[in-house]
Structure 1
Amino acid sequence: MKKKICVVINNRANYARCKSLLVELKKDKRFELSIIAGASTLLDKYGLAKKVIENDGFKIKKFIYSIVEGEVPITMAKSTGLGIMELSTSFIEIKPDYVVVIADRFENISVAIAASYMNIKLVHIQGGEITGSIDESVRHAITKFAHIHFPATNNAKKIIKQLGEKKENIHVVGCPSLDLIKKNNLNVNQKFFDLRPSLNGILKFKKGYILVVFHPVTTEFKTIEKQIKELIKVIDILIKKNFQIIWLWPNVDAGSDIVSKQIRIYNMRQKKNIFLYKNFTPEDYIKILKNSKLIMGNSSSGIREASYLGVHAINIGSRQNNREKGKNVHDVSCDANKILKVFNKKIKLRSCPKSKLYGQGNAAKQIIRILFKKKINIKKEFKRI
């Protein structure tokens, strides 16, 4: 009898983190895969990731519209509640044996709550990590709902055990997004960018470029405008020095509208050498990251994928505080002068150390093997240390 697995994808990062798993589940006849696409994956302003999913050959079983517009703290809370209501209806129709939830974020706490109250076994990928935002609280909360855990690192496993989870239910597999790196040719050329024009032009590949990904930090909502303006000061100086900038649109967290508004204002004033994108396919993003001079901002891809690839990362602000980092990462506060000082050092370095801190690039196959063999009790018990 097939095991019914439902994977909920609520944002573009979720898809990148689980695509390799979806590929394995789809072709494995021991499993019946259902995909739910929700939240910002359905919104054009965030790149309409559902189209990327469908173009990759996956059939989406259900669409969950749960994002309350406004991108402020109260709309995040309301979106979480709406997500619980809509997901519970979908789960009762699909009747999965397992629901897979990825990492953290407010959209995904809805998945954990809905599945748990409906007595559906919850599989959590990338739990146990420490960061400097509300996402950490959500991540640990999902851990307490989950029945089986697939963290990326040994340190994350230790933290999950500290939260009272049984060691036999914790399996270190690495980050599934690294599977895509291992399987794909990462070389690009001018034709690659010709076929992928930005919102305001085509990048000249031979000139090189800096990749910028900066998201709002929800717990610092009152200072987000100041932070993005500091970063724009840096970008303005780099553009005037003839650096090309690929800037990826922020996520849907509270403060997103503030960040995107400042990006639009700057783009209207300075159109040269800046290339804005709403979204990439997971493979395209990896290629763009790999071929960049460095990545700047506060995305976890500067910590995970960039470390594995050997790409320098300037990690700005508190969003990734205390996350395990490779030697490619340089932390800096959100101050234009300090960022520029770090940039001027990093841009001169020709090589960057690689790290397998977040895995070997074989996470999906390990997850499949364990899920098929594992017998899970729906009743959880707290394990004292």
Structure 2
Amino acid sequence: MRRIAVITSTRADYGLLYWLLREIDAAADLQLQLIVTGTHLMPLFGQTEQGILADGFTPAARIALPLESDEPLAVAEAMGVATSAFARAFATLSPDIVVILGDRFEMLSAATAAFTLRIPIAHIHGGEVTEGALDEGYRHAISKLSALHFAAAEPYRQRLIRMGELPDRVWTVGAPGLDHLTRSEFLSAEALTESLGLDVRRPTALVTFHPATLDTDDAAAQCTSLLAALAAFPDWQFVLTHPNADPGGRAILPLLDAFAREDPARRRVFSSLGQARYLSLLRQVPLVIGNSSSGIIEAPSFGTATVNVGDRQHGRLRAASIIDCPVDTPAIISAIRTAIAPAFQARLATVENPYGAGNAAAKMLAVLRSTPLAPLRRKPFFDWAGKSQEING
């Protein structure tokens, strides 16, 4: 039985991994080893491990991180602790493959430990570009430590190959978060209204704003500009979620809380909505605002417009439903007005999403199940110079 260790550190990556976890857990020839870490175990961020347990998953290991602050030094020190803890967990669990999604610092720690212990890594969402965040560097570093690659779109597959990854180890599977479109059950507008304490049948926007960790402006100042723009729409309701645990994120929390307190009848803030509520709300509302990757990758398939604020997601492929704007109050107001205009909303039903249409979990499972393991412990460099840039596979 092949042992597959999958790491989840935030509410966001858990939602993207959910159907792959289900596929592995249901497979008679595979053993799921779920490792829970990061903000899942932190009360400040909603203690979201409870949602994982409620879904019926039992963690094989829990790795708590000492993140008393989100200052860069604290994050760097936590990465050292995490690397040691992941190494011990892998030594105990002896996984055959470690699955890592995305680009967070915890994931780089896990990749470093697994690579050193010669455990093959399968990386999801590699080859992408997010020029406004430290995630950009983490992501590419994880890719270079990984043996298998599941790209969300063909241009990303091509980039991974140009980075030296073997073409026959890189697959275009689409974005795994889109599997929810056809496989998940969504809450009705009535159920959402009862759960959130806000009538989502009225004009409502979903707002998530993370620190853009490579920006020179501080996160609090940027968030203040965004909230000032939201206040210019007194007829709209706003459901706001807390940012992640990146440097600068904790400075945003009191700003969100104060914004919600100013008008509690129209504004709600949550440390975490949970997967079911978040996806159901994404499907229900006409607009998402902020700089979350879900506004770029998942929202277009839900027929939801996105106002993408700032540079955090700069470099990612975009659907026609996304409006980019700088972190400037008048610019954000203008972008929101464009997004909620009837003409723009009417076009959303026909938007094509460059990240596919679902079924990523089944494609990834087939590779994880059948790929011979021994060759993965060596990682040749594929030098594509002089070869065709369009490498089929």
Q: If the TM-score is normalised by the length of the shorter chain, which range does it land in?
A: over 0.9
- The structural deviation recorded for 1:258 is 0.9
**Aligned counterparts of 1:344 and 1:169: Cα–Cα separation in 2:** 44
Q: Between the two proteins, what is the percent identity of the paired residues?
A: 27
Distance 2:186 2:35 in 1: 29
Q: What letter is aligned with 1:72?
A: E
**Deviations for 1:116-173, whole angstroms, at most 9, x for unmatched residues?**
0011111101100011221111110000000000011001101101110000000110
Is the contact between residue 192 and residue 281 of structure 2 (CA under 8 Å) also seen in structure 1?
Answer: no
Provide the residue aligned with 2:244 in structure 1: 251
1:193 corresponds in structure 2 to 193
User: Which residue identity lines up with residue 134 of structure 1 in the other structure?
Assistant: L
**2:334 corresponding residue in structure 1:** 341
Q: Return the match for 1:207 from 194, 202, 209.
A: 202
Deviation at 1:111, TM superposition (A): 0.9
Which residue matches 2:108?
A: 109
> Is the partner of 1:8 in helix, strand or coil?
strand
1:230-269 pair list within 5 angstroms: 230-238=225-233, 241-269=234-262
Q: Is the 8 A contact 1:181 1:286 kept in 2?
A: no
SS at structure 1 position matched to 2:207: strand
CA contact (8 A) 2:100 2:122 kept: yes
What SS class does the counterpart of residue 33 from structure 1 fall into? Answer: strand
Shift of 1:270: 3.6
Paired position in structure 1 for 2:362: 365
Partners in 1 of 2:333 and 2:207 — Cα distance?
14
Q: Give the conservation status (yes or no) of the 8 Å contact 1:128–1:160.
A: yes
Give 1:221 deviation, angstroms: 6.0
> Which of 353, 356, 361 is the aligned partner of 2:353?
356
Q: 4+ residue stretches of structure 1 with deviation over 6 A?
A: none
SS of match in other structure, 1:207 = coil
Q: Does 1:323 align with 2:321?
A: no
Q: Deviations over 1:12-68 (max 9, x none)?
A: 111011100000000001101111100111112112221111100111111101142
Q: Which residue of 2 aligns with 1:292?
A: 285
Mean CA deviation greater in 290-299 or 260-269: 260-269
> Partners of 1:207 and 1:142 in 2: how far apart?
43
Instruction: Find the aligned partners of 1:270 and 1:303 in 2 and give their Cα distance.
Output: 29
Q: Which residue of 2 aligns with 1:306?
A: 299
2:371 corresponds to which residue? Answer: 374
Which position in structure 1 is the counterpart of 2:145?
A: 145
Shift of 1:344: 1.1
Give the Cα separation in 2 of the matches to 1:92 and 1:221.
40
Partner amino acid, structure 1, of 2:299 = A
TM-score between both structures, scaled by the size of structure 1: 0.95
Which amino acid in structure 2 is aligned with residue 43 of structure 1? Answer: M
CA shift for structure 1 position 279: 1.3
8 Å Cα contact 2:192/2:277 also seen in 1: no
RMSD: 1.3
Task: Give 1:187 shift.
Answer: 5.6
1:222 CA displacement: 4.5
- On the 8 A contact 2:220/2:251 being kept in 1, the answer is yes
The answer to whether the Cα contact below 8 Å between 2:219 and 2:248 also exists between their aligned partners in 1 is: yes
Q: 1:68 is matched by which residue type in structure 2?
A: L
> What 5-or-longer segments of structure 1 have no aligned partner?
none
Measured in 1, the distance between the counterparts of 2:159 and 2:249 equals 30
TM-score w.r.t. the length of structure 2 is 0.93
- CA shift, 1:103, in A, is 0.8
Aligned to 1:181: 181
Is the aligned partner of 1:32 residue 2:37?
no
CA contact (8 A) 2:82 2:110 kept: yes
Structure 1 equivalent of residue 44 of structure 2 = 45
One-letter amino acid of the structure 2 residue matched with residue 148 of structure 1: L
Say how many residue pairs are matched. Answer: 377
Q: Is the 8 A contact 2:289 2:308 kept in 1?
A: yes
Q: Structure 2: which amino acid aligns with 1:13?
A: A
1:278 alignment partner in structure 2 = 271
Q: What letter is aligned with 2:261?
A: M
C-alpha separation in 1, matches of 2:275 and 2:358? 14
Which residues in structure 2 correspond to 1:126-141 (within 5 Å)? 126-132=125-131, 133-141=133-141
Distance 2:119 2:185 in 1: 38
Amino acid at match of 1:54: L
Local SS of the residue matching 2:100 = strand
User: Separation in 1 of the partners of 2:222 and 2:83?
Assistant: 32
Cross-structure match for 1:163:
163
Shift of 1:313: 0.2
Residue 327 of structure 2: SS of its match in structure 1?
A: coil
**Unmatched segments (≥5 aa) in structure 2:** 385-393
Kept in 2, the 8 Å contact 1:221–1:254? The answer is no
